[in-house]
Amino acid sequence: MKNFLKRFFLLLVILLVVGFGLFASTFTAKPINVEMYKGDSDHFATPEKTALANLPETTLSIIKCGKMTSKQAYIFRGGSWSETYESGMAAVLIRHPQATFIFDAGFGINVDEHIKTIPALMRASAKYDKETSAAAQLQAQGISPNDIKMAIISHSHWDHVSGLEDFPQAETWLAKDEEAYIHTLPSSELVQHLSGKLKWHPFEFTDSAYENFDRSLDLFKDGSIVLVPLPGHTPGSVGMFVNLRSGKRLLFIGDLTWAIEGEQIPTERPWMSRKLVDLDEDGVRRSIVKVHLLMKRYPELIVVPAHDRRIHNQLANFPATEK
C-alpha cells in the first residue's frame, strides 16, 4: 500500500509539473504564421485616392477616461512578467463638417457599477482607475454631451460601451454582425444592461474594397472616415481609418490586439486571455495578419490598438487635436 501511495503521489507531482509547464508555455513568444493566415490579405485594392486638399477639415482627439493595469505577459505572447502594462480606456473624438462623434466610449460615469459585470478572473488579474469620463471632459470644455449625436463602437465589450449612457442623444452605430451577436449574450453582460437606454443604429459595409479589406463603409462619402470589418474578437468588430488633410493617416483597431506588438511581431494574446475574450481565435489571427500586412505596406500608417496607452500618449489628447 505504501509503495502504491508513493507511486501515486509521484505521478501526481509529475502531472502537475507537466501541466504547469504546458500552461507556462502558452505565455511564451510565438509569432503568428503569416503565410498560414494571410489568405488574400496581401491583395490591395487600388481605388482612386482623394487628394489631400479635397479632404474635409477633420480633427481627432484621444479622450483618456480610465485605465487598467496588469502584467504585460497577459497582453501578448512573449510579454514580460516583470513589466506592468497600462491598458488605456479611451474615447476618440472626431470632428467632421457633417458630424461630431465618438469612436468607443471608454469608462463612463457609472463604471464602478459596470465593472461588476465582468468575470471575476478578469477583475482579479487587473486593477482599474476610472479617471474622468469622456462626457465630463467634454462638458468641462463647453461641449455638451447632448450635442454628440453619434457614437460608433469597435465592438460591444463592457469597457467600450461603459460611457455610452453618458451621451443620451447619441445613436450607437455598430456593425450588423455585432448587433446579432449582442442578442446571443446573457443578461449579465453590460451591453444588455444598457440596451434599453441606447439607440442602436446597425450598419452594413456597403462600399467596395478598401486597401486589403474586401468591404468597407465610407462614412461621409469623402474618404475621410472609412470603417472596415475586423472580425474575430467579436463577430462584428470594426476598425476605423481616419485620413486627415495633413496627410496623417490612422487606423483604430479596437481590441484586435491590446498592444502594438501584436501587430508588429505579429502575435496574439496568451491562451488564458484568449479564452476569456476572443470568440474566434482563427478569425483574430486572420485579422491581425491583415493589419500587419497593411503596416508593412504603409510604414507611416499609425495603428492604434484601443488599449495601448503608449500609442495614445503619442497622439493629441483632448482638448488638443490632430489635424
Residue 11 has a pLDDT of 61
SS3 of 18, please?
helix
Check whether 17 has a pLDDT greater than 80: no
SS3 of 161, please?
helix
Task: Please compute the mean of the pLDDT values over residues 170-174 and round it to a whole number.
Answer: 98
Residue 228 CA to residue 44 CA, distance in Å, equals 14
Band (pLDDT 50/70/90 cuts) for residue 51 is confident
Check whether 180 has a pLDDT greater than 90: yes
All three cell numbers of 58, joined, read 477633420
Check whether 76 has a pLDDT greater than 80: yes
Residue 291 has a pLDDT of 98
Condensed to tens digits (0 to 9), the pLDDT of residues 4-15 reads 556 656 666 666
Q: For 147, phi and psi rounded to 5 degrees?
A: -80, -10
Check whether 177 has a pLDDT greater than 60: yes
* Domain chopping of the chain, boundaries: 58-314
Residue 99 CA to residue 167 CA, distance in Å, equals 15
More confident of the two residues 226 and 122: 226
Residue 316 CA to residue 40 CA, distance in Å, equals 34
Check whether 160 has a pLDDT greater than 70: yes
Band (pLDDT 50/70/90 cuts) for residue 124 is confident
Looking at domain 58-314, its CATH superfamily turns out to be Ribonuclease Z/Hydroxyacylglutathione hydrolase-like (3.60.15.10)
Check whether 29 has a pLDDT greater than 70: yes
Contact 243, 59 (CB under 8 A): no
Residue 262 CA to residue 267 CA, distance in Å, equals 5
**Runs of H (alpha helix) within 164-253:** 176-182, 190-194
Kindly report which listed range (29-33, 43-47, 75-79, 220-224) carries the lowest average pLDDT score. 43-47
Residue 1 has a pLDDT of 59
Q: What is the pTM of this model?
A: 0.93
Question: For strand 127-129 and strand 99-103, is the pairing parallel, antiparallel, or unpaired?
Answer: unpaired
Strands across the sheet containing 84-96: 127-129, 59-71, 84-96, 99-103, 150-152, 171-175, 199-203
Contact 252, 304 (CB under 8 A): yes
Of the candidates 268, 273, 269, 262, the one whose C-alpha atom is nearest the C-alpha of residue 303 is: 262
Average pLDDT of the chain, as a whole number: 93
Contact 323, 57 (CB under 8 A): yes
Band (pLDDT 50/70/90 cuts) for residue 119 is confident
Residue 176 has a pLDDT of 98
Alpha carbons within 13 angstroms on the beta-carbon side of residue 62 total 21
Residue 138 CA to residue 134 CA, distance in Å, equals 6
Residue 210 CA to residue 207 CA, distance in Å, equals 8
All three cell numbers of 252, joined, read 483604430
Residue 282 CA to residue 74 CA, distance in Å, equals 19
DSSP assignment letter at 87: E
